[in-house]
Structure 1
């Protein structure tokens, strides 16, 4: 069959594509940033498109033409510069369903979310439910799948955060530790999609995909820590106000383009509990979905998982330190221009050149220090930091080589700062 998968490079979408390829289907993937996906999945035909802008049936007709089935694994957590929930979850799905009906696409699999509810005050859940409603009211042979907490070899968003918390030294900090969680292996989600595409599930089916029993969040964290091969540690409940504060900070970072899983929408999802009805799928499939223990046993962790989890926690600290370092350096240079210029003059730089270098250098420091916290500018800012630092070192070596022997080490100390920039570049990618 010819199958179109939306969001095919995401946590669930990539697993779905892998399964459909193994089933022998011809797969087309659609998403905003498909360059990396094309390298990872060269057997897939990729379409670069922003779903939030495909809000009419005619916008979708070229993509769905000739398709036998469509799988919608796309989604967003919260509104932001790159995400519009109503457009992605509702508007685009309404238009897509209409296009599928016009083009004669027969089967449609919708990856929804546990807790999707038209009456929810949370825009994530309400818009998801509106998209589900558009699918369910169509003439297509549809399947709506609502996974619990998806566990996969890859980790984005919330699952990455849980891995990171599980590696915390000495103890495991968490809010809402008693909230019930039901997990599902990404392979089981992909299996369900495979069956939906093949038509081996009952028609017009909406079903939860969760393990049989719920467990508290603290138990999930404990299991992840053991999976990572770390010594047992006590899960310490954190005050709820810390969670709200973290959510507020993450929401502000979302305005700057960072897609933190700590945003208020994610915390609201945990607060209601990530639970569903396991019995319905068990009746349909004849077997329960595997529990968390079996999921983790099927994907043993190695050193790369520990590196990732630890660096994930360190990443915001790294970027905050770099931003503050460059901002403070620039501000101090502007406030004390004369003193900074006198230092250069004392090492043989002409007064006129010194009074040019100090404000220009300070302005550059402030510019990159501010830009590095904007997600779309971060890579350019980090590269600029490297260029500025190397220029600073080269210029100082030529003009005032004695600074290398200065007791306070103004040149020597730039080397570890430069190394930190390289670390930030290495961990910048989110997916």
Structure 2
């Protein structure tokens, strides 16, 4: 690998506007960027004394916040709309606000913009995928027009103790008998550790790479196998796994729709119905080493617990 892909830490006068800084992946990104010497300005839906991301619907809303900013990362993501105090619909979170941000970057001359998307958003009809795709496409258009140096990062499932999906996996791994939807026994994922994804993204930020970069862990496996592996790593016997009938799977997803905090819902079922995998060489290349394998995942995510 060329040294250009593993730059030295930037000078401390480099400022990054990080949107979604209070999210699960955003927190890991903020920590990694600060470790590398960046000054981080946070934009979030929930953090006090931060830019109210969900209210930034116009280009003019963003321009004052881009002064003295050299780079922008948009790591805002939500599986579904979050109505109520501090919440916003997916169209605003994933499309309108980031589109306004990217246009403002083009106007302000902030060329380097990273958009955190997800594997599987192509060919998927969920509101999550549709709105993510729309923002991805807008950033790529501005890049093709020579107005930005934009990069869309699409990881597979991200693992960390603060992640809702990870908590679901860990809870299931405590059970000796697993009753799982068929998709969790059939479709492939390539889990990556949040801190390692953040490290790879920090390197990508400093690289000249544009376009779309897919990032996945070193091993493709099913969710059921991942859960069984977590159980084994915790010192428990292999679980008995039973396939949940389709009608019950659909019913469980609809039940999850009624609980905003649940990571299992109709949207996650649809996303889980497609393979979530890519060439593992990309993550290893940008991380500069072999990423954590599923067989060592439990030890890797435990230190992240707050």
TM above 0.5, yes or no, is yes
How far apart, in 2, do the equivalents of 1:115 and 1:233 lie?
Answer: 28
Q: 1:230 to 1:300 in 2, by over 3 A?
A: farther
- Quote the offset at 1:3 in angstroms: 0.8
How far apart, in 2, do the equivalents of 1:228 and 1:140 lie?
Answer: 46
* Counterpart in the other structure of 1:159: 166
* Counterpart in the other structure of 1:415: none
Contact 1:166 1:221 in 2 (8 A): yes
* Partner residue of 1:84 out of 85, 89, 106: 89
Local SS of the residue matching 2:129: helix
* Counterpart in the other structure of 1:47: 50
How far apart, in 1, do the equivalents of 2:273 and 2:100 lie?
Answer: 32
Local SS of the residue matching 1:225: helix
Q: 1:173 to 1:155 in 2, by over 3 A?
A: farther
The superposition leaves residues 318-358 of structure 1 with CA deviations (integer Å, 9 ceiling, x where unpaired) of: xxxxxxxxxxxxxxxxxxxxxxxxxxxxxxxxxxxxxxxxx
Indicate the structure whose relative CO is greater, using CA pairs within 8 Å and at least 6 residues apart.
2
How far apart, in 1, do the equivalents of 2:270 and 2:136 lie?
Answer: 20
The superposition leaves residues 245-300 of structure 1 with CA deviations (integer Å, 9 ceiling, x where unpaired) of: 111112233xxxx2311110011111112222334455666655332223433345
Gap runs ≥5 in structure 1: 36-45, 306-430
* Partner residue of 1:108 out of 101, 106, 113: 113
State TM-score, norm by structure 2. Answer: 0.85
* Counterpart in the other structure of 2:76: 74
* Partner residue of 2:136 out of 122, 132, 137: 132
* Counterpart in the other structure of 2:11: none
* Counterpart in the other structure of 1:123: 127
Superposition RMSD in Å:
2.3
State TM-score, norm by structure 1. Answer: 0.61
Equivalent residues in 2 for 1:29-428, closer than 5 Å: 29-35=42-48, 46-51=49-54, 53-81=55-83, 82-117=87-122, 120-138=124-142, 139-152=147-160, 154-168=161-175, 170-175=176-181, 176=183, 177-197=185-205, 199-200=206-207, 202-253=208-259, 258-282=260-284, 287-300=289-302
- Quote the offset at 1:80 in angstroms: 4.1
- Quote the offset at 1:11 in angstroms: 1.2
Contact 1:181 1:275 in 2 (8 A): yes
More strand by share: 2
The number of residue pairs the alignment matches comes to 284
Contact 2:219 2:294 in 1 (8 A): no
Contact 2:188 2:222 in 1 (8 A): yes
- Quote the offset at 1:57 in angstroms: 0.4
How far apart, in 2, do the equivalents of 1:185 and 1:136 lie?
Answer: 26
- Quote the offset at 1:127 in angstroms: 1.2
How far apart, in 2, do the equivalents of 1:148 and 1:214 lie?
Answer: 10
How far apart, in 2, do the equivalents of 1:9 and 1:230 lie?
Answer: 34
- Quote the offset at 1:8 in angstroms: 0.8
More helix by share: 1
Local SS of the residue matching 1:155: coil
Q: 1:270 to 1:196 in 2, by over 3 A?
A: same
Contact 1:2 1:25 in 2 (8 A): yes
- Quote the offset at 1:30 in angstroms: 1.0
